Structure 1
């Protein structure tokens, strides 16, 4: 038994070390790649210049712009992927998605309303976050009894899903109404926000704080998540505070989704395909799945955004288009493998 756990810890360390190395490589690749290529040999000098508060050279200027965007892509992808793990644990469904409860749709209503009335950038962010929080609170009011009850809560999952579907439909109808009455001068920015776009998004501290807090909660709850996944009906009798755990998963996944959507718009499939692919590759143990999902989700979005801004350079594509084009066939393949298994 001791040898088994030692082997598992060794495997976990190897997988996480490989993902950290892949993350660093993706950030370096993103800094090098663009309409103007930046040689690898120039990266250290440019980083040193940026660290000392300067960007006088072209290499430092390019690297500062690209690295800021890549870091924003990483924290957004990590938040969506971690929210996917939490949502799948909450609903006990490996095919659940961070957007399944309509939180993204609520953020879209807030952001597009601010864009429609020509609000400043901070007003768009604030309105998007407020819309996401409003939907989350509405969901909680309808399902708080099931979340607090602490059982395996198949019924609670059904209430959450049905309420989320209704709220999402109402929000998307509102979005369609706003798009139909919006003047053409604002329509392009509204559509780009809905698709998901990282161009011009500043690097902020708040998404990193949200990600760190949610990651800490998920890591502390990893053993309990394993027990709840394997023995949902008997989890309470095994010492798991199921009600508190379910509420924590709900609020953390909602906050992560709100943070990601506020930063970059609606970017689909990251929170669905990354956790599901990691379950195939690494197994269902949340002690490995939680940090691996954050690293892999962030890396995936960094690489996808790099492709989005370079494939038709100097024209840039919305990253949400590429995640959907990549995610749809990958998800179908994963679903096919799941059916065969």
Structure 2
């Protein structure tokens, strides 16, 4: 047992260290040649720790490049990756479906409808595309919850099927808006956003998204015992003293909020919420007290490097991060399916 705890502690420390290093290293990549000491110094100065900076101050242009462009984008990638990985792990436990992902409840389709409504119809003029997407995601979840009778539903399969229904409904609305009101340029821009991109990250939006996602993940951690019980079925969880309806509804609300925040900030980036929890289960204990935080760290690290590759590999052109995750996720998904069959 002591060895086991030591191994888990080492795994956590290694994963956390890898995430910190990834945040700093990813901030180096780009058109301008900037050293690691310059990145660290710039960050320390902007958070009020000037005396700890290991390098002199950069010119204003390079300083802005790091602090206003690269660093917030890397932080947003970490937050979105963590949100999707945790949401996937939670929904896989709730539905007892190893193929569940964060978009199972239709939140991404609702977010897409909210985004296209703001972009093309000018609904609630003055709000940003990301705000419209966040509101749209929450509206889709409210509809899902209403169809489930406020969460009082008898089977995981009903949750899955209702999520598919809501997703298709909002996808249809999005298609109608695009057909009626979209032109070539707006449709192209919306399609690029929908594929999943972290470009255009700015501190205002990043700060809001990071706070929502971080608070949501911390709240989900309190339900780790309930999630462990859910893996044996809802009836078994009730026999163990879990208030199944309250826990299920609370977890669906939390995952919908953090998924909506992630999609509103970056579009729909696929496969992270599906595959990262499975990868973590192979490396560590499947108990959610360990699975959830490790999934968050691994998901954050993974998306940081995916986005770094997407924005630098084909410079000056930039690929949507969702395209890269799909290219990597498809063969990995085939391996997961093979493992589930065996």
TM-score, structure 1 length as denominator? 0.90
Is 1:102 the counterpart of 2:106? The answer is yes
Are 1:230 and 2:232 counterparts? yes
User: 1:1-341 counterparts in 2 under 5 A?
Assistant: 4=1, 6-52=2-48, 56-64=59-67, 65-117=69-121, 122-144=127-149, 147-148=151-152, 153=154, 155=155, 157-181=156-180, 182-203=182-203, 204-230=206-232, 232-340=234-342
Give per-residue Cα distances to partners, 1:139-178, cap 9 Å, x unaligned: 1111136x346xxx4x2x2222222212211222222233
Task: Choose between structure 1 and 2 for higher RCO, CA contacts under 8 A separated by at least 6 residues.
Answer: 1
Structure 1 SS opposite 2:103: coil
> RMSD over aligned Cα, in angstroms?
2.1
Q: Is the 8 A contact 1:89 1:229 kept in 2?
A: yes
Deviates more, 1:27-36 or 1:295-304: 27-36
Deviates more, 1:59-68 or 1:304-313: 59-68
Cα distance in 1 for residues equivalent to 2:167 and 2:65: 40
Q: Deviations over 1:210-244 (max 9, x none)?
A: 22322222222212321232364322222222221
Once structures 1 and 2 are overlaid, which stretch shifts more, 238-247 or 122-131? Answer: 122-131
Structure 1 alignment gaps of length 5 or more: none
Query: Secondary structure at the residue paired with 2:74?
Result: helix
Q: Which moved more, 1:181-190 or 1:95-104?
A: 181-190
After TM superposition, the score normalised by the length of structure 2 is: 0.89
**What runs of 5+ residues in structure 2 fail to find an aligned partner?**
51-56
Distance 1:118 1:245 in 2: 38
Alignment size in residue pairs: 330
1:1-44 deviation per Cα after TM superposition (whole angstroms, max 9, x unaligned): xxx2x444323221111111110111122111112232224333
* Deviates further, 99-108 or 51-60: 51-60
Distance apart, 1:133 and its partner CA: 1.1
